[in-house]
Amino acid sequence: MNTKIRVTVWGEYVHEKKNAAVANIYPNGMHETIAEGLRESAGIEVRTATLAQPEHGLTKEILDQTDVLTWWGHAAHGDVDDKIVDRVQARVLQGMGLIVLHSGHYSKIFKRLLGTTCSLTWREAGEKERIWVCNPGHPIAQGIDRYFEIPNEEMYGEPFAIANPDEIVFLSWFQGGEVFRSGCTWKRGNGKIFYFRPGHETYPTYHQKEVRRVIQNAVHWAVPEGSRWIDSAPNVPIEKAAEKIVQQGETLHKPGEAGFR
């Protein structure tokens, strides 16, 4: 019996092929390094998928067999097919976990699920980021001390234009003076969503052990609970009402007809 958590690591895989600095840090693509970090956790089984693959590597079959999806994209958010975004959204609502990483804040799927622009301020100065734990007991913060530092990172600053999070797990302090809600959770349908800030492509962030630990933790936290409910907006015929009633007044729909969408 396979009881491992099945993770699909999605990577845009564009800058790694165009930019020498990025290629140097992530020679097989960022997704492979993120996947490598997850494979360090015994209970996790990982596959990867990228933008250039047919259906961006996110076929119905693959998503059906995915418990948690991680998402990193930056330069090509607009190239992600809306039909695939629909499909990912549907799976999240069914219960698939979603871990959105760094520049994924501007991905179609994240904006779709949150309903806001997800904008922020930024600076690419390679400055120090210190990530603080807001709740040391939280499952996503396990194995992390009071804080950890990333020596060189892009700055993301408030205001971060997100729907109010359910919980804030991490906050960042930046050397240049900004702060940021770096680890946030939401629930949409039965899917748990976690946004984690670090991961600019010109720095070796996904090689760092604390970053890997947080993503591992987030995967364990985001595993589907309950069952895969698919909503269908069913008509409940009068004769099947829980209490006996009779038709009154005018109707728009004929008996058994589907509703408008």
Interacting residues with a copy of itself between 175 and 214 (CB under 8 A):
175-181, 187-190, 200-203
Query: 258: exposed, middle or buried (C-beta count within 10 Å: 0-12, 13-18, 19+)?
Result: exposed
Residue 242 CB, shortest distance to a copy of itself, in Å, is 3
Rounded distance, CA 172 to CA 13, Å? Answer: 26
DSSP state at residue 258: P
Residues in 209-248 that interact with a copy of itself by CB under 8 A: 221, 225-229, 231-238, 241-243, 245-248
- How many residues at the interface with a copy of itself, by CB under 8 A? 103
> Minimum distance from CB of 247 to a copy of itself (Å)?
5
- From the list 78, 16, 75, 68, the residue with the least C-alpha distance to 44 is 68
Query: Smaller CB distance to a copy of itself: residue 54 or 146?
Result: 146
By the rule CB under 8 A, 256 interacts with a copy of itself: no
Of the candidates 81, 86, 78, 83, the one whose C-alpha atom is nearest the C-alpha of residue 107 is 78
- Contact between 137 and a copy of itself per CB under 8 A: yes
Give me the least distance between CB of 35 and a copy of itself, in Å please: 22
Please report, as residue ranges, which positions from 107 to 126 form the binding site for a copy of itself (by CB under 8 A). Answer: 112-117, 119-126
Secondary structure of residue 100 in the 3-state scheme: strand
Q: Toward a copy of itself, which CB reaches closer, 65 or 116? A: 116
The DSSP secondary structure of 137-187, one letter per residue, reads TSGGGTT--SEEEEEEEEEEES----PPPSEEEEEEEETTS-EEEEEEEEE
Rounded to a whole number of angstroms, the minimum distance from the CB of residue 255 to a copy of itself is 9
Q: Is residue 252 a contact residue for a copy of itself (CB under 8 A)?
A: yes
Look at residue 106 and give its three-state secondary structure.
helix
- As given in the structure block, the two tokens for residue 55 are 């259906």
Q: Does 44 bind a copy of itself (CB under 8 A)?
A: no
Positions 151 through 170 that interact with a copy of itself (CB under 8 A): 152, 155, 157-161, 163-164, 166-168
Among 5, 9, 22, 35, binds a copy of itself (CB under 8 A): 22
β-strands 167-174, 179-188 pairing: antiparallel
181 vs 213, which CB is nearer to a copy of itself? 181
Rounded Cα distance between 191 and 137, Å, is 22
| Residue 52 contacts a copy of itself per CB under 8 A | no
Candidates 33, 103, 208, 216: give the one binding a copy of itself (CB under 8 A): 103
